[in-house]
Amino acid sequence: MSDPPAKKPCLGGTKDPSVKIPEVPKGRLILTHIGTLATGDETLGDIDDAAIVIKENVIEWVGETKKLPKELADAADRGTRDCSHILIATAGFINTHHHFYQTITRGVAPANELFGWLTTLYGIWQCMTPSQLKAACQATACELILSGCTLASDHAYVWPNGCRLDDEIAAVLDTGLRFHPVRGSMSLGKSQGGLPPDECVEKEDEIMVECRRLIETYHDTSKFSMLRIALGPCSPFSVTKELMLKSARLAREYEKVLLHTHLAENTNDIDFSLSKYGERPNEFIASVEWDRSDCWFAHGVQLNDADLKVFAERQCGVAHCPSSNLRLASGIAPIRKLLDSNVPVGLACDGSASNDHSNLLSEGRLAMMISRVRDFRQATNEKGTNAVPGDPTALSPKQALYLATVGGARCLNREDELGKVAPGYAADIVGWSDHGDSSTALSLVGCAQDPLSGLLVTSPASVTFSIINGDPVVWDGKFIKVSLAEVIANAKKASKDLLATAGYTQRATN
């Protein structure tokens, strides 16, 4: 048997001059006197009165401020920042599934399950223009950053009126966010037995040409890369098996090009697959060569034990989307079982119109809460009263933080470089202050005795600082690279124009 062909490396970052990759900062930046630093590293643990030395875009040293080596302290040519107002700092959060463009269609069809919700929204999204896409995506990126996110994966799969992934990449990178977009697609329209209207689908040959172009233009396999591309046929009910298979084989021609799709989101999703293919999720992904460790799937709400066994054996990842799963009445994913089986599990916001926010810290809080009641059931004991409560230990604050950091890094196959505040890892660090008169400080009142638990159970609205790839993107609660007022104004106009074009009128009773 001959050896498989060598995979093609992609180290150029971007070949499009209109898209600017954030530059790596030069020199050392030092943070001192952080109240508590939750490193996410088993050896380092949590450090009180912590200091971090950042050299360019990499963490060089971590420890107690009083133990900061003098030779490093003297070499802080980018300055030393006193963080004594910071109650808690952590590694930046990793959002493993989203639909950025949906931010400008929030609050639509608020009382629908998945298929009904999608049917309503498809008719609006098909009217979207490139400028509206850019405005939506930049607003989403800013909201994510303020919630502690430093790396996001976005699954974009609707491409009307000349919209391209290039537009989104440029808009997001301008905010400073580390980005892992998924070039999504739909090819199975309603006339062919799929869910989306025929106006929203693409021809499969054209999809494959566009996917290859995007990989060769933007995908950067270098360590600490700010931009990587993944491929993501939308779902089993919106694409053909042939497209799933072609996408898998194209991705594997290149280094570190991953695969992503929706799977087992609700019972309708399962029923469709059983009816059309006669397959459970584990059988479906095996049939299209997606049962590999280079694949991660959104939701997994309706995975059964047979599905979980395959996910554990093949190390397929799961993006847990608690708010969206509750909003659309899809159910609660078996996160405790997945974690106990060593399946890579990350945290995700999912669509800004099925959530309807982009706050990853809030997702961590909700993941912790709903895991505790997932297996709650009404039962009758010998006295005839209801019993069998949930489990308050099902997911701890520390485990919720793991989902948002290390778990997400595992899903994206980047656990050796992201998700921890430790030497040799990317300098993606976020912090929250309990000083001053901000809403963040107000949320953290009473949390000083256990800052990490306090962070997860209170979920303050905004970070005080966010450092991404060694570069401060937010400081003292303010954006450095973009004007938030302009971002908001642009997104509001885009939303108003899009809904008007689509002829959609919101009704309070929906």
Q: Which residues pair with 317 in a beta bridge?
A: 296
Q: CA 468, CA 474: separation in Å to the nearest integer?
A: 9
The enclosing domain of 470 has a CATH number of: 2.30.40.10
Asked whether residue 4 carries a pLDDT value surpassing 60, the answer given is no
Residue 58 in any domain: the answer is yes
Kindly state whether residue 465 falls inside one of the protein's structural domains. yes
Whether 190 is covered by a domain: the verdict is: no
Residue 144, pLDDT score: 98
pLDDT bucket at 18, cuts 50 / 70 / 90: confident
Which residue in 411, 367, 441 sits closest to 180, CA to CA?
Answer: 411
428 in a domain, yes or no?
Answer: yes
* The dihedral formed by the CA atoms of 443, 446, 447 and 450, expressed in degrees to the nearest 10: -170
Tokens linked to 119: 């049917």
Q: Which region among 59-73, 96-110, 405-419 has the lowest average model confidence (pLDDT)?
A: 96-110
Helix (H) / strand (E) element for 276: namely: helix 267-277
pLDDT at 508 exceeding the cut of 60: no
Q: Which sign does the torsion angle of CA 305, 310, 314, 320 carry?
A: negative
Residue 1 is predicted with a pLDDT of: 43
Inter-residue contact 482 to 138 (CB < 8 Å): yes
Alpha helix locations (H) across 147-203? Answer: 165-173
Mean pLDDT of the chain: 93
DSSP, collapsed to helix, strand or coil, labels residue 508 as coil
Q: Is residue 74 part of a domain?
A: yes
**Residue 188, pLDDT above cutoff 70:** yes
**Half-sphere exposure of residue 208: CA atoms within 13 angstroms, side-chain side:** 14
pLDDT at 12 over 70: no
Tell whether 310 is covered by a domain: no
Percent of the chain with pLDDT over 90: 82
**Does residue 249 lie within any of the structural domains?**
no
Domain count, the chain: 1
Secondary structure of residue 221 in the 3-state scheme: coil
Which domain does 462 fall in, by range?
28-92+417-479
User: What's the pLDDT at 8?
Assistant: 75
Nearest to 261 by CA among 227, 288, 224: 288
Cis peptide before 356 (omega within 30 of 0): yes
**Predicted pLDDT at 383:** 53
Q: What is the pLDDT of residue 389?
A: 67
CA angle 302, 305, 307 (to 5 degrees): 65
Phi, psi of 361 (to 5 degrees): -65, -40
Encoding tokens for residue 363? 């997702």
Question: In the predicted model, what is the mean pLDDT of residues 437-441?
Answer: 95
Calpha distance 214→304 (Å, rounded): 35
- pTM to 2 decimals? 0.95
Tell me what percent of the residues of the chain surpass a pLDDT of 70.
94
Q: Is residue 289 part of a domain?
A: no
Residue range 330-351: mean pLDDT, rounded:
95
Question: What average pLDDT score do residues 2-11 get?
Answer: 64
pLDDT computed for residue 111 by the predictor: 85
Task: Enumerate the β-bridge partners of residue 430.
Answer: 90, 466
End-to-end CA gap in the chain: 60
Residue pLDDT, tens place only, 353-391: 788 889 999 999 999 999 998 876 544 455 555 555 678
Paired residues of 403 in beta bridges: none
